[in-house]
Structure 1
């Protein structure tokens, strides 16, 4: 009896301490809480957002948690802490955690080629060595694997293990290690890798090795028929959720309470506590800056996480953005703090982003802290133009793809010239690869002494970078020249046929193939929500790729024909025109 009384005393004391810590923590962050609530209320009204759940944790304690709006507006069901929401690409943090668990068990090594464990992996190449596509390069989005596969993108017609076969029919967009280019396809291949190495289907592995140890009993996948799942909204109206095929890159559904368990456990492991999930050394590796995984990076990254980092503090974060809604989890491990937001509406991207920015700002971070170091680390400070041989200047001339557009560097009176944003600039050499721009006025030239245009080579890629002070813009890479006559019969308007995307406004009506400026092959996709023009980098008569540097929308384009039609395949979406 005495022992029972002692245990009750200890329990009561712990409850008192935790409630006191909670009260102190909440009192320490009233401005953050007030601003977060005001932001959510404002954005819900202005952006037609139907339901939101959000939480902030500090020192292992929930200092604020609140539900807003509706999980089911039509039936007046309010958003609640048990409401289950698709976290979209935040799923990728679970996928990498699973990969790192398998590494701890000695079943794989992320520094080894992915085809060592998944020998079926065999995409088309232009001379790249597939041994350079390591597991780590896929984790860090620097493998060159195509962004997405659109065909059979819903669970009704496809499964995540189909993606590997589609990728094997596509080209690597870049040499491994050149560009950070976000790839959902890569993460679905990681899901396939988990299945191959563990012997368990991806959902089964995640349930058994992550959800179950944490008691995440309300978490799962679309096919799990989870209780309390929200309806999803676009334009204030509910829409049918078909479920995405890409479960290893964006398929997890959870509620705010389960997501809190996940965030807490990762930070417990980081701080040296015994964890059923992961070793402290492993989670610290995942939260270590991996900048340098690619020559051209857009964001600082860990393993499976994006990073904000300055000299005194860092945060790891991953967002999820889908037509079904938005989510973000942000951890500041050294401060033992976290923020999570779940949104059930397609219009929630801006709210999700601003909520996270407010949180990291409170802990001394800002948006520029996610930007990696510059690629061009040194430039000539003195402007002393030199003359270059014509052959060097000609090397830099050409058309440079920018994803949805292109710019041209040409020779005019022995000067390199570039047009940008309606203005003409003469580029004067400070070295063979570094140029200072002079803006051409009506009767004068004005030097832009804080700006540089720099060229660099990586394999067969000739890359143009604009540098203004410490800011860099990757303007693109030089497109291949090709025989335009080989495509003359393929030009024209195409109708869509075959598989159609089931969700969202980007459903395809047709396409148009043309040649711009007598030398650039252009593919325009015509969707119900707009038109998307792509300058294509031609590989052969039968293949091209959409081009640009890390625009996150890279696809292989295949040209074929049958007896009746010319055919175009874009990421598995097909178009045809009569011959």
Structure 2
């Protein structure tokens, strides 16, 4: 009866986690300033509580002020089987924190006159030749790669995580045989593939393997135990856990995107470098102007810009401090390890968090936010200028008439339908029907759910999240706004078109011919729902996935929607025996016999 809730919860879980009114850390001036014991007590209580409730095995923390580490420690276990406690020197896989080092390396090459951020990347990578469906599309540049505005696909999923992985060089032939998902500068869509391309550019310029060149940068930063590598090994390496049980942590192909192995003790050097304006341990690694350039706001470059401000590599943390006192953040993940860093350059404050448990991903950002607030109060004696939560309000571009809202949308949770029923606006996703209501006339819409249409169900992540529609860049978009003034594109308006006989013949259940090591997908297929072509799948751990496909011709379809993984291409191919298959991100699907 409740199986379809998997899709619904997947959809809303992918919305920002801070939609609710959260308690903000606040200390009195006398109590907070310079009181290290109080700071440690507050953070110890917070972290230990979250670790117990979420079954997090190991976690490490470091706090920085200027070029000094104020405090660092570990919690729980780095390796339960060997009874090794987590410490500040435990090595974790930092995942996408790696991208911040790519930004540093790129700015150093700019300073040396070897890299132009705004030159077409073919100037450095002559073999790059990705296809496009967009007329008069501008050239992709290194700046686009660093700000996730390149329009490249998000991931080459097949082979990204596996034992004995290929080199990240495998990304290039894949890209040359597929299409961009969006024109450059259209929208910020997170891309690991883009940073693998950046790794190739760095290699082309410095005439050295990427890992070797980046190791020299780590040495300059005195990160001597850290490395860019496909695997995490060594005496201080943390094991990996899922639901508090030892888990498989396969190797990584895309080392430039997510290959950094490090500890909080060493990763804190990055925060010190940026907060100090390019100086580190008495050595200038970046010019102040380069750091300023790196931390500038490039979000206005995007045609679809909803307020998620983007610097070179870093994201603005406008949900933490007031934009007048900007903070910057970035998260990271491997298959099971999780990471999060946040800095406040004006006060030269920084927080580093690393964990060996998959479940930590949902809580590290909140711990970092509270830690930064407490650190600010410790330093200044005044309450941190945290963004106060409030009910989301309509934007001048919002369209809120029922007729504006009605229609079908391709979303993270599959096909959504907003419609009028007995003069009331409703939304249907994954078989569940929600009522849409306005708290005030002309305001945003909020969702309400009643089990069996009668029993009210309180879903806190919905109670404080408003919805609207906007026209941007030629698309009609479903928009979500939360209590911290953050906005997200949830989906785009779509219209059913005729589905050709070639695609209708492909309806049915499919299996993966080249299974993934990091995730098991035992079932999936193609179907038609309300006149739309739908791809669906279910993972072995219960996650249900549904995407709307828009056929471009009888051999190609794109994943309909706006954002990460959307706009990417599904190709029709044939196996060695001439049997038709479907291919997405190099995953090969074959239809099962009826």
Name the counterpart of 2:272. Answer: 264
1:487 offset after TM fit, Å?
A: 1.0
1:132 offset after TM fit, Å?
A: 3.6
Whether the 8 Å contact between 1:218 and 1:227 is mirrored in structure 2 is no
Whether the 8 Å contact between 1:403 and 1:551 is mirrored in structure 2 is no
Is structure 2 residue 258 aligned with structure 1 residue 250? Answer: yes
Please give the alpha-carbon distance, in whole angstroms, between the structure 2 residues aligned to 1:426 and 1:262. Answer: 46
Name the counterpart of 2:538. Answer: 526
Whether the 8 Å contact between 2:99 and 2:258 is mirrored in structure 1 is yes
Name the counterpart of 1:463. Answer: 477
Please give the alpha-carbon distance, in whole angstroms, between the structure 2 residues aligned to 1:239 and 1:361. Answer: 34
Larger helix percent = 1
Closer/same/farther in 2, CA of residues 405 and 27 from structure 1, 3 Å limit: same
Please give the alpha-carbon distance, in whole angstroms, between the structure 1 residues aligned to 2:34 and 2:143. Answer: 42
Name the counterpart of 1:399. Answer: 408
Q: How does 1:383-394 map to 2 (within 5 A)?
A: none
Name the counterpart of 1:390. Answer: none
1:568 offset after TM fit, Å?
A: 1.5
Is structure 2 residue 325 aligned with structure 1 residue 313? Answer: yes
Closer/same/farther in 2, CA of residues 134 and 423 from structure 1, 3 Å limit: same
Closer/same/farther in 2, CA of residues 411 and 332 from structure 1, 3 Å limit: closer
Answer with 102-111 or 470-479: which moved more.
Answer: 470-479
Is structure 2 residue 474 aligned with structure 1 residue 474? Answer: no
Whether the 8 Å contact between 1:181 and 1:550 is mirrored in structure 2 is yes
Relative contact order higher in (CA < 8 Å, ≥ 6 apart): 2
Closer/same/farther in 2, CA of residues 475 and 40 from structure 1, 3 Å limit: closer
Count of matched residue pairs = 523
Query: Structure 2: which 5+ residue stretches go unaligned?
Result: 1-30, 377-383, 448-452, 454-464
Name the counterpart of 2:130. Answer: 123
Name the counterpart of 1:201. Answer: 209
Whether the 8 Å contact between 2:249 and 2:335 is mirrored in structure 1 is no
Q: How does 1:358-437 map to 2 (within 5 A)?
A: 358-362=370-374, 363=376, 364-366=384-386, 377=396, 399-408=408-417, 419=427, 422=433
Answer with 63-72 or 234-243: which moved more.
Answer: 234-243
Output one character per residue of 1:216-242: Cα deviation in whole Å (capped at 9) or x when no partner: 110113358544212112222223432
Of 31, 41, 59, 1:34 maps to 41
Closer/same/farther in 2, CA of residues 548 and 227 from structure 1, 3 Å limit: same
Aligned alpha-carbon RMSD (Å): 3.8
Name the counterpart of 1:486. Answer: 502
Please give the alpha-carbon distance, in whole angstroms, between the structure 1 residues aligned to 2:582 and 2:394. Answer: 36
Please give the alpha-carbon distance, in whole angstroms, between the structure 1 residues aligned to 2:471 and 2:129. Answer: 29
Of 570, 573, 584, 1:557 maps to 570
Name the counterpart of 2:22. Answer: none
Please give the alpha-carbon distance, in whole angstroms, between the structure 2 residues aligned to 1:374 and 1:166. Answer: 43
Is structure 2 residue 74 aligned with structure 1 residue 67? Answer: yes
Please give the alpha-carbon distance, in whole angstroms, between the structure 2 residues aligned to 1:368 and 1:540. Answer: 49
Of 46, 51, 58, 2:53 maps to 46
Closer/same/farther in 2, CA of residues 171 and 366 from structure 1, 3 Å limit: farther
1:455 offset after TM fit, Å?
A: 4.0
Query: Structure 1: which 5+ residue stretches go unaligned?
Result: 1-23, 387-392, 428-433, 443-449
Please give the alpha-carbon distance, in whole angstroms, between the structure 2 residues aligned to 1:412 and 1:106. Answer: 63
Please give the alpha-carbon distance, in whole angstroms, between the structure 2 residues aligned to 1:327 and 1:172. Answer: 29
Of 286, 299, 311, 2:308 maps to 299
1:183 offset after TM fit, Å?
A: 1.0
Closer/same/farther in 2, CA of residues 346 and 181 from structure 1, 3 Å limit: same
Output one character per residue of 1:170-214: Cα deviation in whole Å (capped at 9) or x when no partner: 322222222211111111111111112221211111111x11212
Matched residue SS, 1:176: coil
Structure with larger Rg: 1
Name the counterpart of 2:19. Answer: none
1:44 offset after TM fit, Å?
A: 1.9
Answer with 150-159 or 195-204: which moved more.
Answer: 150-159
Closer/same/farther in 2, CA of residues 334 and 171 from structure 1, 3 Å limit: same
Whether the 8 Å contact between 1:397 and 1:416 is mirrored in structure 2 is no
Whether the 8 Å contact between 2:446 and 2:466 is mirrored in structure 1 is no
Name the counterpart of 1:339. Answer: 351
TM-score w.r.t. the length of structure 2 is 0.78
Please give the alpha-carbon distance, in whole angstroms, between the structure 1 residues aligned to 2:502 and 2:425. Answer: 30
Please give the alpha-carbon distance, in whole angstroms, between the structure 2 residues aligned to 1:238 and 1:273. Answer: 38
Whether the 8 Å contact between 2:55 and 2:244 is mirrored in structure 1 is yes
Output one character per residue of 1:284-319: Cα deviation in whole Å (capped at 9) or x when no partner: 111122221322346222110111242541212211
Please give the alpha-carbon distance, in whole angstroms, between the structure 1 residues aligned to 2:330 and 2:444. Answer: 38
Q: How does 1:102-251 map to 2 (within 5 A)?
A: 102-153=109-160, 154=162, 156-208=164-216, 210-222=217-229, 225-251=233-259
Whether the 8 Å contact between 1:546 and 1:555 is mirrored in structure 2 is yes
1:79 offset after TM fit, Å?
A: 1.7
Closer/same/farther in 2, CA of residues 514 and 227 from structure 1, 3 Å limit: same
Name the counterpart of 2:17. Answer: none
TM-score w.r.t. the length of structure 1 is 0.80
Please give the alpha-carbon distance, in whole angstroms, between the structure 2 residues aligned to 1:376 and 1:319. Answer: 28
